[in-house]
């Protein structure tokens, strides 16, 4: 899942109003949850594997919510040492510690009246969890070196790939902070459970690269599409985007992205979850027919010749897959 480009936005489903790509049942459930919490003040906890698009969902909630005109501030809780993270979150006063030669605004102050997105909240040290809890409870913050608290108005969206409930049970995460953050949890599904969205995401990423690199004719071959749909994607949407960008670089002498342009894609890929061989073959056959019709501008005679089948056979297969060749007539 990702924020779309203009081209990709034209393809999004009508029941997806948040500029996020994906029409699978699992993503539609995510959209329903977003709609329920969009205009509330409840804190949100986004969970899911790494690379599933948690920050993009947080940005969508900001962009389409009532705080859209206010700041959206991001802080990754795993990216900084404990001491530095504390000063970044809460700010500090000049002279608070060695090297503090000026006042420094913290993330909570920077996000005043807006949204603070705390990524990888599961990596927040226990020593800072109590301080964060107080900020959430009282909506006030005290910069390091200052003796006074001051009020803030910040909505917090937190995200993690870790199981916070297990961490609570093991004493690694405060239960009171967990319940304060998880007023409204939203779990993002892994890409391997969103088979229907892989093609749409891949095409959207390809559109982005094509627009950026001025290569308007870039396209995925049917074989490459099928291989991508059978791949597990342990890195989820982030991995798919990286694979598309690399494939385009490798395909610098052609506009057709083929399976060999994905060197990290296993030659033998795992089967589609819940899919049968017949379904996989049917999907592949349908895509080959569409690709050939596009190439021959809907001409059935030329398409049949290119595929090496009789025209009667072609008509049968077009009817079988509910394909209208007129769509590609010049």
For the chain, report the end-to-end CA distance as a whole number of angstroms: 33
User: pTM here?
Assistant: 0.74
Are 51 and 188 in contact, with CB atoms under 8 Å apart?
Answer: no
CA within 13 Å, CB half, 26:
15
The predicted structure's pLDDT at residue 116: 98
pLDDT of residue 327: 81
Please give the pLDDT value at position 5. Answer: 30
pLDDT reported for residue 286: 85
Q: For residues 210, 216, 222 and 228, what is the CA-based torsion angle, rounded to 10 degrees?
A: 10
Separation of alpha carbons 302 and 295, rounded Å: 10
44 phi and psi angles, rounded to 5 deg = -125, 140
- Which domains, ranges and CATH numbers included, belong to the chain? 25-188 (3.40.50.300), 192-328 (1.10.8.60)
DSSP-based three-state secondary structure for 209: helix
**176, 152, 177: which is closest to 73 by C-alpha?**
152
pLDDT given at position 2: 31
What φ, ψ does residue 205 adopt, rounded to 5°?
-65, -40
- Residue 18 · residue 34 · CB < 8 Å: yes
Strands of the 115-119 sheet, one edge to the other = 72-76, 115-119, 155-160, 44-47, 184-187
Rounded CA-CA distance 184/47 in Å is: 11
Per-residue pLDDT of the chain (330 residues; tens, 9 = 90+): 332 333 333 344 454 568 899 988 999 999 999 999 999 999 999 999 999 999 999 999 999 999 999 999 999 999 888 878 988 999 887 766 777 778 888 999 999 999 999 999 999 999 999 999 999 999 999 888 888 899 999 999 999 999 999 999 999 999 999 999 999 999 999 999 998 899 999 999 999 998 998 888 889 999 899 899 889 899 999 999 999 999 999 988 888 999 889 887 765 444 455 455 666 777 788 888 888 888 888 888 888 888 877 777 788 888 888 888 888 776
């Amino acid at each position: 899942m990702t924020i779309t480009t203009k081209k990709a936005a034209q393809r999004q489903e009508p029941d997806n109003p948040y500029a996020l790509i994906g029409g699978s049942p699992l993503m539609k459930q995510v959209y329903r949850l977003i709609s329920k919490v969009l205009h509330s003040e409840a804190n949100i906890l986004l969970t899911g594997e790494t690379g599933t698009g948690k920050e993009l969902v947080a940005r969508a909630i900001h962009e389409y919510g009532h705080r859209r005109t206010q700041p959206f501030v991001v802080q990754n809780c795993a990216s900084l040492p404990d001491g530095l993270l504390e000063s970044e979150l809460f700010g500090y006063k000049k002279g608070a510690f060695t090297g503090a030669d000026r006042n420094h605004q913290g993330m909570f102050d920077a996000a005043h009246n807006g949204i603070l997105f705390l990524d990888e909240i599961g990596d927040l040290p226990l020593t800072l969890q109590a301080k964060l809890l107080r900020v959430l409870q009282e909506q006030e913050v005290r910069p390091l070196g200052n003796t006074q608290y001051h009020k803030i108005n910040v909505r917090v969206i937190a995200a993690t790939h870790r199981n916070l409930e297990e961490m609570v049970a093991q004493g690694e995460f405060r239960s009171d902070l967990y319940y304060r953050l998880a007023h409204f949890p939203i779990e993002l599904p892994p890409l391997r459970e969103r088979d229907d969205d892989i093609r749409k995401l891949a095409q959207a990423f390809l559109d982005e690269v094509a627009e950026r690199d001025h290569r308007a004719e870039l396209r995925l071959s049917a074989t490459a599409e099928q291989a991508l749909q059978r791949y597990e994607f342990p890195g989820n949407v982030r991995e798919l985007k990286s694979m598309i960008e690399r494939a385009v670089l490798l395909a610098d002498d052609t506009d057709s992205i083929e399976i060999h342009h994905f060197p990290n894609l296993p030659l033998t890929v795992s089967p589609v979850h819940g899919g049968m061989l017949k379904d996989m073959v049917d999907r592949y056959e349908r895509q080959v027919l569409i690709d050939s019709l596009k190439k021959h501008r809907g001409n059935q005679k030329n398409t049949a010749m290119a595929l090496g089948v009789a025209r009667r056979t072609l008509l049968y297969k077009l009817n079988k897959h509910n394909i209208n060749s007129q769509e590609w007539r010049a």
